[in-house]
Structure 1
Amino acid sequence: MSSSINSRPYDAVPARHVAFLGLGVMGFPMAGHLARAGHTVTVYNRTASKSIAWCAKFGGAGGQKHAATPREAAAGADIVFCCVGNDDDLRSVVLGEDGAFAGMQPGAIFVDHTTASAAVARQLYQEARTRGLQFVDAPVSGGQAGAQNGLLTVMCGGDQEAFDAVRPAGMAFARAFTRIGDSGAGQLAKMVNQVCIAGLVQGLSEAVAFGQQAGLDMPLVLDVISKGAAQSWQMDNRGKTMAEGRFDFGFAVDWMRKDLGLVLDEAKRNGALLPVTALVDQFYADVQRAGGGRWDTSSLITRLAGQPGKA
């Protein structure tokens, strides 16, 4: 895990008492940006050593501290931010005697940055309302680099009032923080994002492999076509590393398969046809079987002729 974050200017916003649950590769720098923006931050992580390391890096004189449970972290917070692994992880830090909801004060807002199902977002939104709390589902796009640089794109679902209250603080780690619609809409928008990425990465994999088989200078080709209609973030940031067979960084295949599982489950419910997404999901399963579960998603190219994987 990288704990560094790049410096960025922070707009002056009123300091808030916030909590942050989950200090993985995304949460660690996101919470750091909140602290550097002047907010008082209490952190919680299942592995306590990460909380201790975060406080050592960002504690300073700002009153930052760590808590033993989500409930303790949430006590007295205006906003509780969260970024954990999946639906079950989310429920484990939100619900129950030691969960965040049990410690939150009336009117406080829970903002979930986990990529989870729309169903769990709606469930927790309703549970929050029964407790006099507010809940915003707010998955992010931009990866570890976006978190470190404070340039994430955040897609939100929930009540307008709650969104308006959390957006100024959330902009500490975001370049865009947008309400898409009612509860669950943020998670659905993130699914749209992942569908787009899956198709783009497969297309780019085939293009790079084709060019290499044809004997082309692929770094040169990518430089040329990235100035035209084929340009994409994936091409600019992953094309050359794909050609070099380097995948030991970035968004892991295991995480993408989790996300695409959410997409395909939702498609079964709403009737959307996703033939390419379903196919690419199976291609990612091939990469997992080859030992590439922790490789970057651009490792799709390793399935193609003449492309050995390199960890």
Structure 2
Amino acid sequence: MRWVDERLTWTPSDFGGQSTLLVPPEDVWRPQLYLLQSFDRMQDIGNVSMMVRLSSSGLVIWNPGSVLKIVCSVDVTYFPFDTQTCNISVTGWVYTTNEVMFYVTNSTVNEDNLSSNSQWTLESAAVLTISDIGQTALPTINIELILKRRSDFFVVYIVFPMVFLGSINNLVFVMPANSGERTSVAITTFLSFIVFMQMINDAVPESSAPMAYIYYYILFLLIYSSVIIFLCIVSLRIHDKEIPVSSTVERVVYFLRFWWLKRKKKSIVMPERKFSNGSEQMEVESNKFHGYTEENKECSSPKVTWKLVGKTFDIYWFSVLLLSFWVMTIQTFANLYNNQGF
């Protein structure tokens, strides 16, 4: 900080050419500065042990220094790819703009003594505004710090394991129904998502307005895993049925699983016929060439059992749930990385 005090001028030639000197801060007037965003109290800026440099022209140069604890409002919407804006207001609390006015000589913040941080990187730092709007306004300097979170740790520690667990959670439909492990694997994965929710809760500041989007993704995974558990139980019930399959279920299974047989049947060309001595005979070679065999004829009408119904149920739900999982995952983390809303 610099200001001119006309009472502290002298002629250097009268004092052996001495044009500057250092004096204790309590021997000169200096502004009382306070930090509005202080952590626990209104903190004054400036160490009283910092010497003040005087010039013969009355120029006073004071470089106060201190370790400041500042409270910033955190927006965790895009955690762990979030960028935070921290505003700092340095004000002369006891002055009015008629008594003291702050002027900024540089719109940027000096970063020469900036040390690297393991959790945040400083994107930019600038002096935004100076309050000189009226006599009742406090003389204030506003500083804006833009900090970006280092997301590598959270991606490796939280994001990748969640995505991997979500992708293998759907594989319970591929497991044999008689193995008896489907439900236990699904429940174990569900509990794993609960653990990840607790890990995220420990890393993200508690906030309901706004809420981190990654919590919505965790909620989706919990619902997704709950649906898988429910469908696993339904699938096991289907596999264990022993009553005859109803005609309605048969038609549904034919439509979902064997519709391609109809297309295959239409593409089969009927065998050629050869007339010899007034009798009709079929050529075996022609049958083989056109793909028409007795086996194809039998396969055109497969027998539907409850085991076949269960396999059809597993295949289709595996496909639907896997597609919904990857669509939600890609959309969520693409929006988080680009800091876009849903």
Structure 1 length-normalised TM: 0.26
Structure with more of its chain in helix, by fraction? 1
Structure with more of its chain in strand, by fraction? 2
Larger radius of gyration: 2
Structure 2 length-normalised TM: 0.24
